[in-house]
Amino acid sequence: MHSPRETVATAPGRVNLIGEHTDYNGGLCLPFAIRLRTTAKVTPRNDGRLVAISDQADPADTGWLAYVAGVVAELRRIGWDVPGLDVEVVSTVPLGGGLSSSAALECAVATAVAGLLGIPLDDSIRRRLAEACRRAETDHVGAPTGGMDQLAVMLGSEGHALLIDFADPVRPATTPVPLPVAEDGLALLVTDTRVRHALADGDGGYAQRRRECEAGDPRRLRHVRTENARVSAAVEALGSRRWDTLGELMTASHVSLRDDFEVSIPQLDVAVDAATGAGALGARLTGGGFGGCTITLVAADRVDDVREAVDTAYRSRGWARPVHHLVGPGPGAQLT
Ligand code: GAF
């Protein structure tokens, strides 16, 4: 039985096709929302308290609660009259696996609260929610992320990637870009290395890379410059469905992230090399790096070859078997 004021929203995870570590450097990226989603049900409480439960959470690890509390605090900060809430979270986005389970959680809660308050989810509200969610992550969780993930999750649309230009970081420009992979007999395969990363670790590599970019480290900034050029070239390649070119750009992005930005790890490199060795058009790490996932562009009829090649390469090194997901561009956050 539904209580009259309970509101349910879902928000997707995301994969970044190309354009990594560019968002906090005023650059370009091209993520898309995927079909794995997080659902949040919010019901108002009379006592002002925030009570949250999740189907995925380890009871000993309460870290995820900061994302929920951070979103509510940020929405109150921008003047929304958010009451106490019961929040129930159910998710199919793997936690800490490089598919932005955190943005999916934040945006599902934010969208459900907007629905509860009767605020229409137009483009400008979606951007405000994305920014509130980014601030929740930066100021409440302590993960200094750049904003790509939340925009991809709030503004993603079926069949499209989202070109984001952070030249104006206060009002990033966004353009949907058709991504007709399945139509052209291709597939996008995400391979989860199962090596977990933690962006909120203050001494971790992500925050360190941000500091190096701010300090003007030439090699880090060379990655940013060449990556921006690759994103522009990727958008052009997509416009004329030159998939081979897109694949080459993806692999070049990985090489730059590995050698210039130094955010790869052997498990990511081996997944990329095995995938391209098995005939994929291109592959790269996706997300912040130091663990997480790769994204591979491959002909649909060669997906099994790629999966097998990666699994074999892992097995021969004694590594845990990776997890593969076929992904495609789906809709952004929405009320159900
Ligand atoms: C993580 C961050 F959350 C993003 O903002 C972005 O910087 C990405 O790493 C690297 O491109 O996903």
| pLDDT above 90: percentage of residues in the chain | 90
Identify whether residues 277 and 140 lie together within a single domain: no
Domain boundary residue among 123, 144, 179?
179
Q: How far does residue 335's CA lie from ligand 1's centre (Å)?
A: 25
Answer yes or no: is the C-beta of 288 below 6 A from any ligand 1 atom.
yes
Residue 28: closest CA among 218, 236, 232: 232
Answer yes or no: is the C-beta of 253 below 6 A from any ligand 1 atom.
no
Answer yes or no: is the C-beta of 23 below 6 A from any ligand 1 atom.
yes
What's the token pair of residue 183?
């139509």
- Residue 317 structural domain: 182-327
Identify whether residues 15 and 137 lie together within a single domain: yes
Q: How far does residue 272's CA lie from ligand 1's centre (Å)?
A: 19
Identify whether residues 277 and 159 lie together within a single domain: no
Identify whether residues 175 and 246 lie together within a single domain: no
Answer yes or no: is the C-beta of 106 below 6 A from any ligand 1 atom.
no
Alpha-carbon gap, residue 221 to 215, rounded angstroms: 10
Question: Which stretches does DSSP call E strand in 203-310?
Answer: 282-286, 293-299
Identify whether residues 131 and 188 lie together within a single domain: no
Q: What is the pLDDT of residues 267-309, one digit of tens each?
A: 999 999 999 999 999 999 999 999 999 999 999 999 999 999 9
Alpha-carbon gap, residue 205 to 257, rounded angstroms: 13
For the chain, the domain total comes to: 2
What burial class does residue 118 get, using C-beta atoms within 10 Å of its C-beta: 0-12 exposed, 13-18 middle, 19+ buried?
Answer: exposed
Q: Which amino acid would we find at residue 175? A: T
CA atoms within 13 A on the CB side of 180: 9
Instruction: Report the atom number in ligand 1 closest to the C-alpha of 288.
Output: 9
* Residue 1, domain member (yes or no): no
Answer yes or no: is the C-beta of 131 below 6 A from any ligand 1 atom.
no
Q: What is the pLDDT of residues 75-115, one digit of tens each?
A: 999 999 999 999 999 999 987 778 999 999 999 999 999 99
| Ligand 1 mutation target, pool 18, 21, 201, 213, most atoms within 8 A of CB | 21
Q: What is the pLDDT of residues 141-177, one digit of tens each?
A: 988 899 999 999 999 999 999 999 999 999 999 999 9
Average pLDDT, the chain: 95
**pLDDT category, 201, cuts 50, 70, 90?**
low
Instruction: Report the atom number in ligand 1 closest to the C-alpha of 24.
Output: 7
What's the token pair of residue 93?
């986005």
| pLDDT above 70: percentage of residues in the chain | 97
Instruction: Report the atom number in ligand 1 closest to the C-alpha of 21.
Output: 11
Residues 6 or more apart whose CB falls under 8 angstroms from that of 162 comprise 30, 31, 32, 33, 151, 152, 155, 156, 174, 175, 176, 177
Identify whether residues 148 and 222 lie together within a single domain: no
Instruction: Report the atom number in ligand 1 closest to the C-alpha of 148.
Output: 5
Q: Can you give the pTM of this predicted structure?
A: 0.96
Answer yes or no: is the C-beta of 20 below 6 A from any ligand 1 atom.
yes
Identify whether residues 19 and 147 lie together within a single domain: yes
Alpha-carbon gap, residue 191 to 185, rounded angstroms: 19
Q: What is the CATH number of the domain that holds 126?
A: 3.30.230.10
Beta bridge partners of 12: 37
For residues 214-226, give the mean pLDDT: 98
Q: What is the CATH number of the domain that holds 237?
A: 3.30.70.890
| Ligand 1 mutation target, pool 32, 149, 294, most atoms within 8 A of CB | 149
* Residue 211, domain member (yes or no): yes
**pLDDT category, 200, cuts 50, 70, 90?**
low
What is the ipTM for the molecules in this complex?
Answer: 0.99
Answer yes or no: is the C-beta of 289 below 6 A from any ligand 1 atom.
no
**pLDDT category, 1, cuts 50, 70, 90?**
very low
Answer yes or no: is the C-beta of 91 below 6 A from any ligand 1 atom.
no
SS3 label, residue 297: strand
Return the active site residues.
149
Residues 6 or more apart whose CB falls under 8 angstroms from that of 296 comprise 188, 189, 190, 191, 271, 272, 275, 280, 282, 283, 306
